Amino acid sequence: MKQDFEQLKEEIKYEKTNSCVQCGYCLPVCPTYATMGKETHSPRGRINLVKMVGEGRITDLSVLEEPMDLCLGCRACETACPTGVEYGSILEAARAAITRRKKFSSPVRTLRNTLFKEVFPSRKAMSFIGNSMWLYEKSGIQKLARKSGLTKKLPSHLGEFEAITPAAVSPQERSSLPRVTPAKGDKKYTVAFFVGCVMDAMFRKINHLSVKLLTEAGCDVIIIENQTCCGALHAHSGELEESKSLAKRNIEAFEREEVDFIVNNAGGCGAMLVEYDHLLADETLWVERAKRFSEKTKDISQILVLCGGIKAKDLSPQWVTYQRSCHMTNVLKVTKEPLQLIQSVPNVEFIEMNDANMCCGSAGIYNIVNYDASMEILDQKMENVRDTKATTIITTNPGCLIQMKLGIERENLKESMRAVHLVEYLAEATGITESPNSVNL
């Protein structure tokens, strides 16, 4: 019994909770504390709940379930924390401990297994799912979540997501990227491009444009085979073992090529990749390899700036705003480069929104499984977006992009506003087109 308890303490990373001095500095930056209005849904509150488990005051882990589920995992709290509490790590450990002890009904377990073990990690499967199919798959997750008690409300909002699904791309565009795309002009770096699962299945166009921007900037771009999902969705859902095995697969795959950087275009994936060394910290055989991998991981904006920026032409005068990816800001700490690139486009006026660093409520699959909570956060965000009077919202992560599109739809702003990925915006500004022919396919 005592041994079990000691093991549980280790599992939930009780020790890490002790660096929280409960000063509350995280409260004003937490989106769920702002919208849900109770300490239970604040970082300090959640850490305390984990602490209480570690001190034997809470013995039923299901008490933690809702507070942990309703966390967006945006990790804004980490940037406000004066004592450096590793909130992300505590959250993931708690979710994993809850998941391990949870008795899913058997169809739910099968579905979970299929999704997390076979669908996300498989490029083939994700490719098959493709653009619009992805959302139906997401709806599968939602049904699963409902059955497993993750959400108590019947979903009635899927139509909204359908409306914002990107238009299906032509088979030509869906064709894979070439293994190597050489740099235009003088080669500055050799980079491996991380395609990601959601980006690849749903926003392949953006991946194509990313490769073009990188080659224009002077990079040889390699698409490494056998790469897989980064594992972020797994880690955030408490499937820690699965995310570790994906991390190992990626490390192995990318070790095969000698590259200067591993480049991605999704803040959420980037944050996962850059923390592989934390994820595998307990595995002595892997930690060094993970560290090398993490060190090479860069966001595309960093590489473009490193290569001297983009060659932007004049766009028609317009106002733009930027909805940051939380993981890009709070985990990768990439904040200057996207702004630098946006502001390098002539004629474009950048307007910062209020509470720019607040999460938009997308957070992986949060907007599906915790729809109401997510929409409350989105509505606050859209108010701030509206105030900027911008016509373009730029994002740096697929989840945020979908959420912003949804926000525009909900607010009936479709006529006057659009949401794009930074890569799309920069491609537009440099005159790079989406046509696959010009990517040397």
Residue from 13, 32, 34, 42 binding other proteins (CB under 8 A)? 42
Residue from 38, 100, 256, 336 binding other proteins (CB under 8 A)? 38
DSSP reduced 3-state for 222 = strand
Residue 28 touching other proteins (CB under 8 A): yes
Burial classification of residue 285, based on how many CB atoms lie within 10 Å of its CB (0-12 exposed, 13-18 middle, 19 or more buried) = exposed
End-to-end, the C-alpha distance of the chain in Å comes to 61
**Closest approach of other proteins to the CB of residue 250, in Å:** 32
Residue 110 touching other proteins (CB under 8 A): no
Look up residue 30 and give its two tokens. 């937490």
- Between CA 135 and CA 406 the distance in angstroms is 13
- DSSP sequence for 178-218: PSEEPPSSS--EEEEE---HHHHHH-HHHHHHHHHHHHHHT
Residue 27 touching other proteins (CB under 8 A): yes
Q: Residue by residue, what is the 3-state secondary structure of 355-366?
A: CCCCCCCCCCCH
How many other CB atoms sit within 10 Å of the CB of residue 321? 24
- Nearer to other proteins by Cβ, of 21 and 168: the residue is 21
Residue from 5, 6, 7, 37 binding other proteins (CB under 8 A)? 37
Residue 23 touching other proteins (CB under 8 A): yes
Phi-psi region of 191 (alpha: psi -120 to 50; beta: other; left: phi over 0): beta
Residue from 63, 168, 180, 351 binding other proteins (CB under 8 A)? 63
Residue 347 touching other proteins (CB under 8 A): no
**Closest approach of other proteins to the CB of residue 391, in Å:** 29
Residue 52 touching other proteins (CB under 8 A): yes
- Nearer to other proteins by Cβ, of 78 and 424: the residue is 78
C-alpha 167 chain-centroid distance: 22
Q: 396 and 325 in contact (C-beta within 8 Å)?
A: yes
Q: How many residues bind other proteins (CB under 8 A)?
A: 29
Binding piece for other proteins, criterion CB under 8 A, among 77-85, 222-230, 250-258, 366-374: 77-85
- Between CA 376 and CA 360 the distance in angstroms is 10
Furthest C-alpha separation in the chain:
69
- Nearer to other proteins by Cβ, of 43 and 407: the residue is 43
Residue from 32, 35, 48, 264 binding other proteins (CB under 8 A)? 48
The 8-class DSSP code of residue 168 comes to: P
Binding piece for other proteins, criterion CB under 8 A, among 25-33, 151-159, 234-242, 282-290: 25-33
Residue 170 touching other proteins (CB under 8 A): no
C-alpha 13 chain-centroid distance: 23
Partner residues linked to 191 by β-bridges: 221, 261
Binding piece for other proteins, criterion CB under 8 A, among 50-58, 112-120, 298-306, 402-410: 50-58
- Given the DSSP bridges, would you call strands 180-181 and 219-222 parallel, antiparallel or unpaired? antiparallel
Helix axes 87-101, 43-54, angle to 10 degrees: 50
C-alpha 417 chain-centroid distance: 23
Q: 35 and 380 in contact (C-beta within 8 Å)?
A: yes
Residue 83 touching other proteins (CB under 8 A): yes
Residue 58 touching other proteins (CB under 8 A): yes
| Cα-only R_g, the chain | 21
Residue 54 touching other proteins (CB under 8 A): no
Partner residues linked to 190 by β-bridges: 220
- Between CA 395 and CA 421 the distance in angstroms is 5
3-state helix, strand, coil in the chain (%, to 5): 55, 10, 35
- Between CA 105 and CA 174 the distance in angstroms is 37
Residue 82 touching other proteins (CB under 8 A): yes
Residue from 10, 11, 40, 306 binding other proteins (CB under 8 A)? 40
Residue 36 touching other proteins (CB under 8 A): no
Residue from 67, 218, 231, 407 binding other proteins (CB under 8 A)? 67
The 302-321 site mask, x for binding other proteins (CB under 8 A), equals --------------------
Look up residue 221 and give its two tokens. 């771009």
**Closest approach of other proteins to the CB of residue 194, in Å:** 32
Binding piece for other proteins, criterion CB under 8 A, among 56-64, 192-200, 303-311, 359-367: 56-64
Binding piece for other proteins, criterion CB under 8 A, among 52-60, 206-214, 290-298, 356-364: 52-60
**Closest approach of other proteins to the CB of residue 70, in Å:** 11
Residue from 13, 35, 43, 45 binding other proteins (CB under 8 A)? 45
Residue 64 touching other proteins (CB under 8 A): yes
User: Residues interacting with other proteins, by CB under 8 A?
Assistant: 18-19, 21-25, 27-28, 37-40, 42, 45, 48-49, 52, 55, 57-58, 60, 63-64, 66-67, 82-84
